[in-house]
């Protein structure tokens, strides 16, 4: 009811701004004032683009009489509902004609039950359609309905979960297609509109502005942020500019309630089309990788290591025998450039590497021990994520903490072999600034500023010589990951 009241108020204000009254002394009838400058009329755009937007419904084949999970009460489905727009319909057994390979005579049969609904749009007159991967994920059958009520059974050409892009194909000709825009040229503040099927309500139009161009909400895509009202069912629908061109695919929302809260995200159409081209060609997307786990370079770490500013991607882990390891990259290196392109944020690197064709050579510029150098790395094809390694062993505290609040011991040969580490010392206990920074027993100290740590005696001697007025960069390894932790001796601020 509250949202309805707000809608009514907004409409009333808009009406008041459009019409003006003539003074009572005049006998002339009331006239309509010109439109307020800066407020676009979306009606013509909707007339042109609406026919190219489709409704997508998916079904699942289940055995008749079998219990099906996944209703709205299912916690996993609630999480799906909160994050995405493909509104899931509770999968309960529906009356109807059994389908599939069901057998008669009292044995189990298969029937088609609703799974979810979403949106999509036609990109070619012969029936190729773009939508989100999560809209068709797990579907047995996909049905596409046009605005003229024609319904087609669609084939899933391919889907890429990393970018949340899917390509469908229906059999048709001279279908209404949408024009593609250039998502690189969008500007924050420009008007955009979305067309889709929120909550299954087909051909619903909402409008707003671009809030930000490149939000880092995914590994391989900087998403477009808008304030366009989108809700469950809008997923896969187009984000359209004032020229009537598609600049994005509505994909995600930020929500604590499952409904629209003023922030929505769209996949940039330039990236989506690159993915779609690969899906149409081979049904899958090929990406490159170099075998590193990366993290952020904070201002404190940059100052401690002599970098002019916080930039690049910190190498936290190098995959054993991977391309980066073979090229000589190490944990603690900071990747500043990839093939000459600067790495401003850690999220830049996986996008650049992912866009590189497997088998190619890439030049990586790294910062190590106070100087920059170029390293040539062979790019290989991205594989499935490997399972996490077991947690590190923990040790009992002993002795007196040094100026950084750490008690350390030498690594045994067995520990070095287990950790695959040639150097470093084991943290037995952490207190003061070290504990406050998150260092804990079982961590391994590999480097202090630009000096590799060989043993506990050397480490404590180096700590004793630190300037209490300056932060020191301590390279900490935990499990398979390494991270610089800035610490000031004796817990200073």
Residue range 127-174, pLDDT digits in tens = 999 999 999 988 889 999 999 999 999 999 999 988 899 999 999 899
Q: Using alpha carbons only, what angle is made at residue 366 by residues 365 and 367, rounded to the nearest 5 degrees?
A: 135
The predicted pLDDT at position 418 comes to 76
Q: Which residues of 224-252 are buried (b: 16+ CB within 10 A; e: fewer)?
A: bbbbbbbbbbbbbbbbbbeebbbbbbbbb
Does the annotation count 235 as an active-site position? yes
CATH 2.30.42.10 applies to domain 288-381:
yes
Residue 39 token pair: 């407020």
Catalytic residue selected from 160, 164, 348, 480: 164
Provide the pLDDT confidence category of residue 453 given band limits of 50, 70 and 90.
Answer: very high
Instruction: Render pLDDT for 320-372 as a digit per residue (tens, 0 to 9).
Output: 989 999 999 999 999 999 999 999 888 889 889 988 989 999 999 999 999 99
The predicted pLDDT at position 136 comes to 93
Catalytic residue selected from 119, 211, 235, 304: 235
Instruction: Render pLDDT for 364-397 as a digit per residue (tens, 0 to 9).
Output: 999 999 999 999 999 999 864 343 333 333 333 3
Contacts 24+ apart (CB under 8 A), 212-215: 212/188, 213/186, 213/187, 213/188, 215/265
Kindly state the percentage of the chain with pLDDT values over 70. 76
What DSSP designation does 372 have? E
Greater model confidence, 62 or 85: 62
Alpha carbons 445 and 180: distance in angstroms, whole number: 52
Measured on CA atoms in the order 407, 410, 412, 416, is the torsion positive or negative?
positive
144 contacts 53 by C-beta, under 8 angstroms = no
Mean pLDDT taken over the chain: 80
pTM of the model: 0.62
Does the annotation count 134 as an active-site position? yes
Alpha carbons 463 and 442: distance in angstroms, whole number: 19
Domain 406-491: homologous superfamily in CATH: PDZ domain (2.30.42.10)
Greater model confidence, 402 or 108: 402
> 10 Å Cβ neighbour count for 181?
22
119 contacts 287 by C-beta, under 8 angstroms = no
179-282 and 288-381 have identical folds: no
Provide the pLDDT confidence category of residue 458 given band limits of 50, 70 and 90.
Answer: very high
Instruction: Render pLDDT for 274-296 as a digit per residue (tens, 0 to 9).
Output: 999 999 999 888 899 999 999 99
What DSSP designation does 237 have? P
Whole-angstrom CA distances from 329 to 280, 362, 377, 486 are 36, 13, 9, 22
For residue 10, is pLDDT > 80? Answer: no
Strand-pair partners of 373: 366
Strand, helix or coil at 411? coil
> Which residues, including other chains, have CB under 8 Å from residue 353's CB and lie 6 or more apart?
287, 288, 289, 290, 338, 362, 379
Select the highest-mean-pLDDT range: 18-22, 90-94, 232-236, 247-251.
247-251
Work out whether strand 141-145 and strand 204-216 pair parallel, antiparallel, or are unpaired: unpaired
What DSSP designation does 456 have? H
453 contacts 373 by C-beta, under 8 angstroms = no
What DSSP designation does 120 have? E
What DSSP designation does 109 have? -
179-282 CATH fold: Thrombin, subunit H (2.40.10)
Catalytic residue selected from 119, 134, 347, 443: 134
Q: Where are the domains of the chain?
A: 48-94+108-169, 179-282, 288-381, 406-491
163 contacts 132 by C-beta, under 8 angstroms = no
Provide the pLDDT confidence category of residue 76 given band limits of 50, 70 and 90.
Answer: very low
Residue (of 44, 124, 119) closest to 86 by Cα position: 119
Provide the pLDDT confidence category of residue 78 given band limits of 50, 70 and 90.
Answer: very low
Q: Which CATH number fits domain 48-94+108-169: 3.40.30.10, 3.10.20.740, 1.20.1290.10, 2.40.10.10?
A: 2.40.10.10
Average pLDDT over residues 32-57: 82
Residue 128 token pair: 């190729």
């Amino acid at each position: 009811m509250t949202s309805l009241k707000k809608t009514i108020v907004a409409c009333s204000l808009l009406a008041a701004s459009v019409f003006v009254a003539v003074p009572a002394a005049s006998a002339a009838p009331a006239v309509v004032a010109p439109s307020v400058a800066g407020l676009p009329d979306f009606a013509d755009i909707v007339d042109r683009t609406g026919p190219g937007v489709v409704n997508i419904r998916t079904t699942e084949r289940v055995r008749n009489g079998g219990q099906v999970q996944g209703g709205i009460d299912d916690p996993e489905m609630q999480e799906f509902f909160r994050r995405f727009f493909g509104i899931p319909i509770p999968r309960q057994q529906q009356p109807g004609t059994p389908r599939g390979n069901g057998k008669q005579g009292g044995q189990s049969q298969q029937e088609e039950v609703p799974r979810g609904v979403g949106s999509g749009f036609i990109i070619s007159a012969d029936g190729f359609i773009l939508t989100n991967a999560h809209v068709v994920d797990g579907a047995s059958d996909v049905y596409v309905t046009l605005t003229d009520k024609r319904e087609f059974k669609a084939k899933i050409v391919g889907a890429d979960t990393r970018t949340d892009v899917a390509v469908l194909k229906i059999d048709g000709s001279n279908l209404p297609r949408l024009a593609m825009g250039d998502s690189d040229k969008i500007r924050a503040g420009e008007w955009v509109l979305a067309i889709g099927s929120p909550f299954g309500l087909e051909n619903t139009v909402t409008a707003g502005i671009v809030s930000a161009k490149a939000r880092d909400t995914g590994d391989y895509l900087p998403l477009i942020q808008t304030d366009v009202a989108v809700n469950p069912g809008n997923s896969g629908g187009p984000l359209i500019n004032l020229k009537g061109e598609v600049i994005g695919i509505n994909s995600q929302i930020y929500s604590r309630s499952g409904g629209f809260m003023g922030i929505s995200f769209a996949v940039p159409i330039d990236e989506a089309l690159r993915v779609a081209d690969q899906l149409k060609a081979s049904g899958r997307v090929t990406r490159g990788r170099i075998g590193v786990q990366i993290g952020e370079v904070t201002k404190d770490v940059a100052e401690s290591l002599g970098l002019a500013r916080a930039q690049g991607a910190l190498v936290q882990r190098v995959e054993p025998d991977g391309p980066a390891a073979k090229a000589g990259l190490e944990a603690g290196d900071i990747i500043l450039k990839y093939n000459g392109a600067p790495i401003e944020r850690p999220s830049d690197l996986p996008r650049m590497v992912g866009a590189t064709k497997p088998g190619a050579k890439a030049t990586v510029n790294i910062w190590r021990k106070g100087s920059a150098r170029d390293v040539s790395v062979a790019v290989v094809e991205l594989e499935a994520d490997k399972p996490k390694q077991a947690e590190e062993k923990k040790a009992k505290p002993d002795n007196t903490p040094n100026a950084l609040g750490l008690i350390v011991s030498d690594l045994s040969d067995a520990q070095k072999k287990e950790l695959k580490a040639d150097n470093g010392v084991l943290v037995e206990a952490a207190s003061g600034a070290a504990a406050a920074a998150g260092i804990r027993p079982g961590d391994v100290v590999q480097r202090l500023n630009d000096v590799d740590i060989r043993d506990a005696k050397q480490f404590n001697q180096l700590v004793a010589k630190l300037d209490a007025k300056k932060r020191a960069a301590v390279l900490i390894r935990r499990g398979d990951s390494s991270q610089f932790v800035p610490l000031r001796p004796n817990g200073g601020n």
